[in-house]
Amino acid sequence: MTGGGRFFAWSLRTRRLISYRNYEYDRLAAAALSSNLRLAFARSLDGGGSIEIFDASDGTQLHALQGPEDSDIEKIALSGDGAWLAAIPYKGPPWLWDLSGKPRVRRLRGAKGSVLAVAVSEDGTRTVAAGEDGFVYVWNSRTGRLLKTLRGGKRNMVSVAVSGDGRWVLAGSEDAQARLWDLRTGNLVWSMEGNAIPIESVALSRDGTRAVTNGDSIQFWDLQKGSILAESADNPARAMLSADNAFIASGCSDALCLMDTRNGQWFKLALNGQVSAIAALVVSPDGKHVASASQSASVRLWGMAGGTSQELASGREPPPVAVGFSQDGQRLLSASRDGVVRLWNPREPASGRILVKLPAGPTVLATSPAGPFAVLSGSDGVLRLWNLEEEKEVRRYGEEGGAAYYPVAFSADGKRLFAAREEHGVDVWEVETGQQVKRLEPSGYEVTSFAASGEVVAAGTRDGHIQLWKAQTLEPLVRLSGHEYGVRTVSLSADGKWVLSVGEDSTVRLWDAKTGAQQECKEFHISNDLPISAVFEPGGQSFLVGNNAGVIHRFVFEHSSLGGGGQVK
């Protein structure tokens, strides 16, 4: 969330923007987001403050709350289900709203002096505030009764977090210390001391076993062992911990900074120029057209000959995450984050219509190169094979309720289906029989992209590597290493001799699939010309790169050298 009310939501697994909305919110004082995508804004007004709550999935306003008439609202916090909202005014005690029905508000009494930070447990049962003179206060959210008053030192407590079950409370203070209490006993069970810099933000895992502190550095802690698992000397703004403990997020200048807690590496998700970013590219079988999915929620069809384009879907819908042409090029499909799959006749742009609505979530789409088929999948862990001529589902793979698949690709002959799951690895299915025949394990990190040719299949992973296998036997070949961070996109030339990759390190790399040698590396340094997606053209001697400003570049290589080409607009 930016100061002007722009809301960005990314998939941390794929690093792709999945939602963007500009709420045009002036005089923003604080914001909070719940696990079920309830988004709260607090803004300062002359003589008081107000809070508005939206459903971030579609922008619908749910509540408009009036705060204290004589005091601005400084900080807010939401429970995981968005049913409880706590607010700290500039003057007076904290306010707590019950939003489970018609909004009801009460003031939380009992604090000695001002409170400086607030948090609500995931289940909403506890509201916790950090206050002056080293005090931390714990209330029963439903009754408003003060349950415990904790104290750690004599300096002000300036940050606070509570575990999902409301058992553990972590607070950071001006004296550069962080302290953890067990609320069942009220005992202080852990503490750390920094280097004279206040602990401006803290975060706690849902089970209370992991913590993040941000003082003179950001530190990721194993609270059971009291040891540091990852550390960064950088000191960005307020730090938060992802639900799976895999990432620490913090605000940076014009970007969201993320640290992978497994290796301590940082990467950035830019807030400028990302709305038009081309998330996916696909070339028609005859090479005459290109379809793109933009994070501004548009699907565009481009003509390769003249560089002109037509907008097939506008920004009124959720952003598309995938596009694909049918084998004969007569159909174009797109899939968006809300589970909607649309179908067009490329020759008739106005023909677009909804083909199917899947369970909302990480929707995936892949079209077969050997028949009128496409595989679609939503968040329920089921792969659906569709006959595009008959427009009906003909087969399913996987079990409902399992982890979602992403990404998905057909083999070059259309006989096999490759599908990566969130818990790592790639499942391999026989398309005709529906039998799972193998599971590929490229690395200990998630697969972020996948491609297949007649000779080679390739998987790009979040740790920056690309694993190659033989297409027929699935025997491991070489592992390509060079990207500093995760691989966004991987593409293969039709003959399987070349591998093309786009990384989060803003590079496009060309590899020899046989030897694993990197042939070329093109670096991008301009903030509005960073590569996001790429694809080989059918001939294999040229490829397209979509950037974060909605522009597609074409490159031609001869004798393993990249040559800049024209720009498609």
Distance (Å) of CA 439 to CA 55, 462, 487: 38, 18, 21
**497, two tokens:** 């001799």
Give per-residue pLDDT as tens, 368-400.
Answer: 999 999 999 988 889 999 999 999 999 999 888
Give per-residue pLDDT as tens, 293-350.
Answer: 886 657 888 888 766 677 776 545 667 888 999 999 999 999 987 888 999 998 887 7
Does residue 158 contact residue 114 with C-beta atoms inside 8 Å? Answer: no
Residue 272 lies in a domain: no
Residue 65 lies in a domain: yes
Alpha carbons 361 and 246: distance in angstroms, whole number: 20
The pLDDT, as a whole number, for residue 561 is 45
Residue ending a domain, choose from 178, 208, 234? 234
**311, two tokens:** 């907008």
Percent of the residues in the chain that have a pLDDT greater than 90, as a whole number = 47
The pLDDT, as a whole number, for residue 317 is 62
Residue 221 lies in a domain: no
Phi-psi bin for 228: left (phi > 0), alpha (psi -120 to 50), beta?
beta
Q: With helix as H, strand as E and coil as C, how does 509-568 read?
A: EEEECCCCCEEEEEECCCCCCCEEEEEECCCCCEEEEEECCCCEEEEEEECCEEEEEEEE
The confidence band for 242, taking pLDDT boundaries of 50, 70 and 90, is: confident
Give per-residue pLDDT as tens, 313-325.
Answer: 654 566 788 899 9
pLDDT reading at 142 higher than 60: yes
Of the two residues 92 and 403, the one the predictor is more confident about is 92
Alpha carbons 75 and 53: distance in angstroms, whole number: 14
The pLDDT, as a whole number, for residue 524 is 85
Phi, psi of 338 (to 5 degrees): -80, 5
The confidence band for 45, taking pLDDT boundaries of 50, 70 and 90, is: low
Residue 566 lies in a domain: no
**409, two tokens:** 């690709």
DSSP state of 312: E
pTM over 0.85, yes/no: no
Residue ending a domain, choose from 184, 212, 234? 234
What b/e readout covers 477-513, taking b as 16+ CB neighbours within 10 angstroms? bbebebbebbbbbbbbbbebebbbbbbbbbbbbbbeb
Domain span at residue 496 reads 441-557
Which segment of 149-158, 257-266, 354-363, 558-567 scores lowest on mean pLDDT? 558-567
The confidence band for 251, taking pLDDT boundaries of 50, 70 and 90, is: confident
The pLDDT, as a whole number, for residue 13 is 63
What type of residue sits at position 461? Answer: T
The average pLDDT across 75-97 equals 93
Residue 1 lies in a domain: no
The pLDDT, as a whole number, for residue 298 is 78
Phi, psi of 156 (to 5 degrees): -60, 140
The confidence band for 184, taking pLDDT boundaries of 50, 70 and 90, is: very high
Give the chain's domain count. 2
Residue 137 lies in a domain: yes
Give per-residue pLDDT as tens, 409-426.
Answer: 999 999 999 998 766 689
CATH number for the domain that contains residue 141? 2.130.10.10
Residue ending a domain, choose from 234, 253, 282? 234
Facing residues of 302 across strands? Answer: 290, 309
Residue 534 lies in a domain: yes
What sign has the CA pseudo-torsion 340, 449, 531, 285? negative
Question: What is the overall mean pLDDT for the chain?
Answer: 85
The pLDDT, as a whole number, for residue 566 is 37
CB atoms within 10 A of CB 470: 13
pLDDT reading at 47 higher than 60: no
10 Å CB burial of residue 423 (0-12, 13-18, 19+) is exposed
The confidence band for 275, taking pLDDT boundaries of 50, 70 and 90, is: low
The pLDDT, as a whole number, for residue 564 is 43
The confidence band for 569, taking pLDDT boundaries of 50, 70 and 90, is: very low
The pLDDT, as a whole number, for residue 92 is 87
pLDDT reading at 568 higher than 60: no
Which segment of 257-261, 476-480, 533-537 scores lowest on mean pLDDT? 257-261
Residue 424 lies in a domain: no
The DSSP line for 204-223 is: E-TTSSEEEEESSSEEEEET
Alpha carbons 267 and 507: distance in angstroms, whole number: 14
Q: With helix as H, strand as E and coil as C, how does 96-134 read?
A: EEECCCCCEEEECCCCCCCEEEEEECCCCCEEEEEEHHH
CB atoms within 10 A of CB 50: 16
